[in-house]
Amino acid sequence: MNHKHLVAGPRHAILHNLPLVSCGLVVVLFAVMMLGVSVGAVSIPLDVVWSVVVSHLAPDSVEVTWSAGRDNIVWEVRLPRVILGAIVGATLSIVGAALQSVTRNPLADPHLLGISSGAALGAIIVLLHTGMFLGLITVPLFAFGGALLTTAVVVGVANFAHATNASRLVLTGVAVSFVVTSLGSLGIFLGDPRAAHTVIFWMLGGLGLSQWAQLPYPAVALLTGGAFLLLNARNLNAMTLGDESATTLGIPAARFRLVVFIVCALLTGAAVAFSGIISFVGLMIPHLVRMVVGGDYRRVLPLSALVGAIFLVVADMAARIIIPPQDMPLGVITGLVGGAFFILLMRRNGRLA
């Protein structure tokens, strides 16, 4: 009982000052993003970073005292990278939170239904077989298409098999994921071995190929899909109680679950298409947020987005500075941190909850 009171005290204080906490997280995110632009194989002082950004947003507002090389590193290379990291981290976190609600499965994450496997298959087809026949947009476009096609297959099979309840829909997604992963492995086997390393790095996740022209796609997906989930936060709260309880509250549980799955597939496909497969973020961050603020999705969703964005920007900084000048795959960093987090969580609670 004493332990519960100790936990309830800080949680009550946080909930009481939630707007202040949210504003604080926004400030932390902004600071971390600026730091993320500063660090790397070539370190750039924060005042130079800020000056470069201001000079591009408001030309002729500051005197240019830095080299063209530093300007290019800040504006063309690192700033799009940290912005994409924040978008992807926020996206994966809210998707994980939503899926954990509608499946009532604490292990649910954005890759649960084979969405990432479909995206990987699309990327494999381009990188090893068709080539970049549409330019730099070819890989993201095929990855996004693969994610949507896989989701359509999962939903179609679920409807055909009348597997619309939470557990059977998850099993359907796992089965389709195995099939799609096998097709991807076959694509690697039949492809050019000299190009296989690019596929492997993409499948392990990374933000090194980010460009300004690509950012609107995952950003628009996050804004629209995130708004939908936030507007349905009360329904997500009800879904955590089970289908029967949700139905008594007037929510068509099976239909709402399918809609959430489709929205989550769009969000995940848009994120994975530009970052590759990044594991554990959508699984870990919602748990971390719920431990602090409780299970109300009106709080869990926005705070998960902010914490997920901060986490992935920090993880990408680590990926850049551990073995410079090379980038460590981002999925390796998130996997190590996420695995350690859940071992500690199981030790603390004795179970996943």
Q: Is 2-349 assigned to CATH 2.40.30.170?
A: no
Residue ranges per domain, the chain? 2-349
Of 198, 210, 205, 214, nearest in space to 127 by CA:
198
User: What is the value of pTM for the model shown?
Assistant: 0.90
Q: Which long-range contacts (CB under 8 A, 24 or more apart) does 185-188 make?
A: 187/121, 187/124, 187/125, 187/128, 187/129, 188/124, 188/128
Residue 76 DSSP code: I
CB 88 within 8 A of CB 274: yes
Of 225, 218, 237, nearest in space to 298 by CA:
237
- DSSP H or E segment with residue 224: helix 216-231
Residue 327 DSSP code: P
Residue 131 DSSP code: -
Structure-token match 């992963």, residue found:
181
* Tens-level pLDDT at each residue, the chain (353 residues): 444 444 455 666 666 678 888 999 999 999 999 999 999 888 999 999 999 999 999 888 888 888 999 999 999 999 999 999 999 999 999 999 999 999 888 878 887 778 888 888 988 898 888 888 888 788 888 888 888 899 889 888 887 877 667 777 778 888 898 999 899 889 888 888 877 777 877 788 889 888 899 899 999 999 999 999 999 999 999 999 988 899 998 999 889 988 998 899 889 888 988 898 898 899 899 999 998 898 899 999 999 999 999 999 999 999 999 887 788 889 899 989 988 887 877 776 655 44
